[in-house]
Structure 1
Amino acid sequence: MPELSKGPAQTVAGPPGTPVQVQGRWRQLSLLGGTMLVDSTEASLVSSLFPLIRQSLGVSLGALGILTAASKIVGVFTGPFWVWAAQRWSRKSVLVVATGLWGLWGVAAGFSQNFTQLVILYTILAAGYAAANPIITELIGDLFGSSSRGRAIGFVYGAISLVGAVIGPLKGQLAGVDEGWRWGLWGIGGFNILLGIALLIWFRDPGRGASEQQLADLDRTSREAVSKLSWDKAFSLLRIRSLVILLVSRLLSGHLLVGTFAVVFLVDVYGFSTQRASLIILPFGVGYFLGTLLGGFAVDRVSRRNPRSGPVAVLQAAQFAFAVLAYFGTQFRYDSILVFGALFALIGAAQGMNPGINRPMVMAITPPELRGAAFALYASIAEAIAWAGYSLGAGFLADAVGLRVVFLWVLVVLMLVNGLFLTLLYRTYAVDTARIQEELDTRRRDVLADPR
């Protein structure tokens, strides 16, 4: 019979029904959050400083759509590759290389002499960063049990947004520096390399299934023996109805456009300067931070009280709230940037609720070994296609009909459609979560019954 976890193992399982505690989970989470923070900051740098890039390299607004689309499309291919590599070697080594040392490409992008060079180097940079979302989210699922995943993800995405909000106006001030966008890429790329070294030294992978009640007290070898990924298992993801619905919903997530075009929207539509328009990044980030905390706590709470439909209702409400707030925040002219700041704070809060809700929902309907592949589908493919499509389309449509019209259809109308579409989850989510719990129960019985 396999031995139970003991000694310096990283999981502490209490009596049946009590939450599993992975030792050092918050310390490990801080390292993972720091990595995602730098990756997302570098990814948003180009969009927030695009007015400078446009002036420096002599390109049109459509170039922003090309940059964003290229960086997202490449993740469709490299995201699943990094998940495979993490299964083949280790999640830690992939993160060290792909999201840490890969910052060298960010430094190189800062030396671009024309738009073609910037597109190529920025796309290569994004190819590595595509590893962060699926692998780190998978790791969070192994560090935290089902009763605390919402809060953990909320803290990570909230901290990323909050720090990014503080950095945002600082990035905007690079507009006053000659070729300031280059200094931004150099600085963040260098800091990312340092974080890669920190991951190499201090990060400890708890192993797949470490936070599952049924598997936590098994030794790591036994846990991972029953959690090996195969092609059959990977393709079985598409048979999970709730996951397919969430994937389609991600394709309908027009709110992804805000992070790319918010600053240039205020510059082009309402005539603010780049430095003044970039000031909304702070309230938007603070709102997003509060939204992630609210979403995380809400999904943990409703999952305990009403696990069958509670998370679905909270996710659906977030889409409707975003659409209403986006209408008032983008379709009316306000003379003061402070009014826009207040409205974008509320928009950020509605958008920020999503990660703390949808990520735990994906975890709840997939077994441990498939979560990385599920998040590759969800973030690296579906989200990337949506982001690329909206960014590329918005960039060119804005040249023809204006960003205000684009925002109306994508941020308001499409998000209302998204909220209505999520109604389908009421028929599938409870069934899919129950199936996963039954599968984990079976695995535990099989492992403990093995006489070897």
Structure 2
Amino acid sequence: MTTDQAGPVVGDRRWKALAVCLTAAFMTLLDTSIVNVALPSVERGLHADEADLSWVMSGYALTFGLSLVPAGRLGDMRGRRRTFLTGLALFTLASAACGLSSGAAWLVLFRLVQGASAGLIAPQTSALIQQMFQGPERARAFGMMGSTIGISTAVGPLAGGLLIQLAGGPEGWRWVFYVNLPIGVAVFCAALRLLPRSPGSPGRRECFDLPGVLLLGSGVLALMLPLVQNQQWHGRLKWALLPAGAILLAAFWAWERHQERRGRAPLVDLGLFGLRSFTLGALLSLVYFAGFTTLFFVYTLFLQNSMGYSALEAGLSSMPFALGAALGAAAGGRLVLRFGRRTVLAGLSTVAVGMLGVVTAVQFVPGRAVAWGVGVPLLVAGFGSGLTISPNTTLTLSRVPVGRGGAAGGVLQTGQRIGSAAGVAVVGSVYFAHLAHRGSPSTALQLGLLTSVGIILLALLLAYADLRERRVRPEAGRSPEAARQGS
């Protein structure tokens, strides 16, 4: 097998290399939700308070989001294989440390490290796909990546519930972290053998843009912190961080332009945002993740707190979405090459219809039977999600140079993390506000999901506006592959 920084990897081993990348991605994304159902056990086992439990969840999301763009740039500069292996080793060690934690403070600390390690891994996956594949095979690979994202998000509660039930006892929560150890070791050994040895940036050795990292990190932190801590930080002062974050990101933009004028390599190539496909796709991804990830947040809370479901039962109830996401992503990987942005438009419409079906089922199916009533609507919503995530990723990165694939993947996934945090804050506020006024739990869930549908409809409008403009200016949205084929 040979590698070329400017082109795809040649050889059948690339599909095995893709399986390695996707297994690591599945493991890191699973840890965003698998811990949800373990929090009661952590509370009892470590005598953790509400703030500790909040940081066990939000700390992972914060450091994950903060490290994505610098990690993507690091992979572009120093080599994606090396960065991937470093992140995987750190993630596995941090998982072991989480499981061995003797106190809540130690668990929070190691979760922060675990999140940062996950952020090292994530951008390398999309960049390696760009490096190893092109044309229809690249779309198929991104389809498999979309399936991984959808399934890992949905099965986290189920996996956590199973592990805790099998382990039993007050220390059962530790196995939520220990399960990463054999997987991490196996993936590390396979990655050593299968991942391509891509060089870093060609030519002279570039310096890492430390001021850019600090400005971007501070800006993203200021944006994410009040969102992920919305339920724990009371009062309105926290929202002052949002304009502060916007100012820091504006300063980051100005600094990056300054770097380019001086002929130095920026942390993020601002020329990426001159690619209309990348800019619109990243924005659409941010908005969509704000809508769809909140489904599991309010739905799982509703089942466990209001319907008396166990952690395992609540996890099982999300499986139709995971199945639909896998099917939708497989179909989307094929359809996107033929229908382009229309595939995303169809996917977003299907998600909205499925979530409205969940709202309707909650209204008419009483009591504990509600999970059976929402099964088909969740399957429909999951299928639509599969049709949305992987095709949008393919279209967003289609015109990005391979040498900037890591940084572009980092920007795309940072938007997804910010979108998820914002969506949970907004939808969670609607859900908890209704409960605080002694409202019906089913009505609170319906209002929360209707808010999610509204966010998804906003993403739908973005996709529709893009499709209309492409009809007026067909060249604007053509991929290089399509241009070569003259389509």
Structure 1 residue 360, shift from structure 2 partner: 0.9
* Aligned partner (choices 21, 26, 42) of residue 37 of structure 1: 26
Distance 1:74 1:394, change over 3 A: farther
Q: What is the percent sequence identity of the aligned residues? A: 19
Among 383, 406, 421, the residue aligned to 1:388: 421
Q: What TM-score do the two structures reach when normalised by structure 2?
A: 0.72
The aligned residue for residue 341 of structure 2 is 312
- How do 1:146-157 residues align onto structure 2 when only pairs under 5 Å count? 146-157=135-146
Distance 1:36 1:100, change over 3 A: farther
Query: Does 1:145 pair with 2:186?
Result: no
Residues 107 and 187 in structure 1, CA contact (< 8 A), matched pair in contact too: no
The answer for the alignment partner of 2:232 in structure 1 is: none
8 Å CA contact 1:61, 1:396 repeated in 2: no
8 Å CA contact retained: 2:35, 2:157:
no
Shift of 1:385: 0.8
Shift of 1:393: 4.6
Q: 5+ residue gaps in structure 1?
A: 1-7, 12-18, 209-219, 223-227, 303-309, 442-452
Q: Check conservation: 1:229, 1:370, Cα contact below 8 A.
A: no
Of residues 464, 467, 472 in structure 2, which corresponds to 1:423? 464
| Alignment partner of 1:412 is 2:453 | yes
2:107 aligned partner, one-letter code: L
Tell me the SS of whatever aligns to 1:43.
Answer: coil
Superposed CA deviations along residues 32-85 of structure 1, whole A, max 9, x for unmatched, are 122112222233211243454456567788977654443233233311221222
- Structure 1 residues 272 and 154: alpha-carbon distance in aligned structure 2, compared to 1, 3 A threshold: same
1:24 aligns to 2:13 (yes or no): yes
Residues 180, 431 of structure 1: alpha-carbon distance in 2 compared, 3 angstrom cutoff: farther
Does residue 9 of structure 1 match 2:5? no
Aligned equivalent of 1:235: 270
1:93 touches 1:200 (CA, 8 Å); kept in 2? no
Residue 2 of structure 2 aligns to a residue in which SS?
A: coil
Aligned to 2:257: none
Name the residue aligned to 2:256.
none
* 2:390 counterpart residue number: 356
1:118 to 2:107 alignment = yes
Change (3 A) 1:180 1:399: farther
Report the residue type matching 1:240 in the other structure.
L
Length-normalised TM-score, structure 1: 0.77
> Does the Cα contact within 8 Å between 1:251 and 1:386 map onto a contact in 2?
yes
Quick one: structure 1 residues 433 and 160, their matched pair in 2 at CA, closer, same or farther if it must change by over 3 Å? closer
3-state SS in 1 of match to 2:83:
helix
CA displacement 1:177-211 (0-9 Å, x = unmatched): 12322111112244223322321233224679xxx
Whether the 8 Å CA contact 2:136–2:334 is kept in 1: the answer is no
Q: Is 1:365 matched with 2:399?
A: yes
Q: Which amino acid aligns with 2:422?
A: G
- Counterpart Cα distance in 1 of 2:334 and 2:479: 24
Choose from 381, 391, 408 the match for 1:347. 381
Letter in 2 for 1:282: M
1:327-338 aligned within 5 A: 327-330=356-359, 332-333=361-362, 334=365, 335-336=368-369, 337-338=371-372
Q: Note the alpha carbon deviations across 1:288-342, whole angstroms, 9 max, x for none.
A: 1111111112113x1xxxxxxx321110121121112112214543342333333
2:314 aligned partner, one-letter code: A
User: Per-residue displacement from partner, 1:84-136 (whole Å, max 9, x unpaired)?
Assistant: 22123211111111134422111212234555443332122111111233211
- How many Å apart are 1:417 and its aligned residue? 1.6
Shift of 1:390: 2.4
- State how 1:14-163 maps to structure 2 within 5 Å: 22-53=11-42, 56=45, 67-113=56-102, 115-158=104-147
Cα gap change, 1:317 to 1:365, in 2 (>3 Å): same
Equivalent position of 2:408 in the other structure: 374
Unpaired stretches in structure 2, ≥5 consecutive residues: 204-262, 436-443
Greater relative contact order (Cα < 8 A, sep 6+): 1
CA distance in 1: counterparts of 2:267 and 2:177, whole angstroms: 41
2:315 corresponds to = 278
For structure 1, which segment, 80-89 or 252-261, has the greater mean C-alpha deviation from structure 2 after superposition?
252-261
> Residue type matched to 1:155 in 2?
M
Over 3 Å counting, the alpha-carbon distance change for 1:435 and 1:294 in structure 2 is: closer
| Whole-angstrom CA distance in 2 between matches of 1:275 and 1:255 | 22
Partner of 2:135: helix, strand, or coil? Answer: coil
Q: Is the 8 A contact 1:10 1:22 kept in 2?
A: no
Tell me by how many angstroms 1:174 deviates.
3.3
Q: Please say if residues 255 and 410 of structure 1, whose CA atoms lie closer than 8 Å, have aligned partners that are also in contact.
A: no
Q: What CA distance in whole angstroms lies between the structure 2 residues aligned with 1:234 and 1:191?
A: 34
Give the root-mean-square deviation of aligned CA atoms. 3.7
Superposition deviation, residue 22 in structure 1: 4.6
Equivalents in 2 of 1:62, 1:316: separation in Å?
40
Q: Which residue number corresponds to residue 192 of structure 1?
A: 184
Distance 1:389 1:221, change over 3 A: closer
Does structure 2 retain, via aligned residues, the 8 Å contact 1:329–1:340? yes
Whole-angstrom distance in 2 between the partners of 1:256 and 1:167:
12
Asked if 2 retains the 8 angstrom alpha-carbon contact of 1:238 and 1:244, the reply is: yes
1:132 to 1:262, Cα distance in 2 relative to 1, 3 A: farther
Q: Count matched residues.
A: 404
Contact 1:68 1:391 in 2 (8 A): no
